[in-house]
Amino acid sequence: MTKVQISEMVAGLGPVVSGAALYAIEPDNYKSGVDAADTGIRVLLPSTEGEPHTGEPKGIGAQSRMVWIVKDLYLNMLAGDAMGWATVGYALDSYCDSYVTALTAANHSKTGFCSINAEVLSWDMLVGVHTYNDRQYYGVLVTLRVQSGI
């Protein structure tokens, strides 16, 4: 599996926000930033921001393994809007819970992560204020480490 294929699978995860599944978008659609009316979105980031993709050969004629880093940024609202953390704190925690539920269900299918030859090895969730295109948002940055056969 390629990183692009794995990213497509991650984009299709549907953590629930305000009672509806939230699917990721490509960052090219929001190059100038995300306005307040557009918040409540997920953006898959195109780079690993300094984290290396790693791999290892398994020998002649054997399938190699690759660990891909995928970053998924949830932008809940512009930082400074409303009452700040009092407004978003619990909502961001609920988003993390829902994301883990969706991720766990996809990762434990019988044929691998989202029915592809891959497995989520680990994830980190950073709740806080995140910068996206020079603007700050309350949100969650999820970093996934996904192992796949090539």
- Between vectors from CA 143 to CA 72 and to CA 8, what angle results, nearest 5°? 45
- pTM, rounded to two decimals: 0.85
Region 93-101: mean pLDDT is: 93
pLDDT digits (tens, 9 = 90+) for 2-54: 777 888 888 888 898 888 888 888 766 666 667 888 888 999 887 666 777 77
CATH topology of domain 3-149: STM4215-like (3.30.2000)
Residue 68 has pLDDT above 60, yes or no: yes
Domain residue limits, the chain: 3-149
Please state, in angstroms and rounded to a whole number, the distance separating the CA atoms of residues 55 and 93: 33
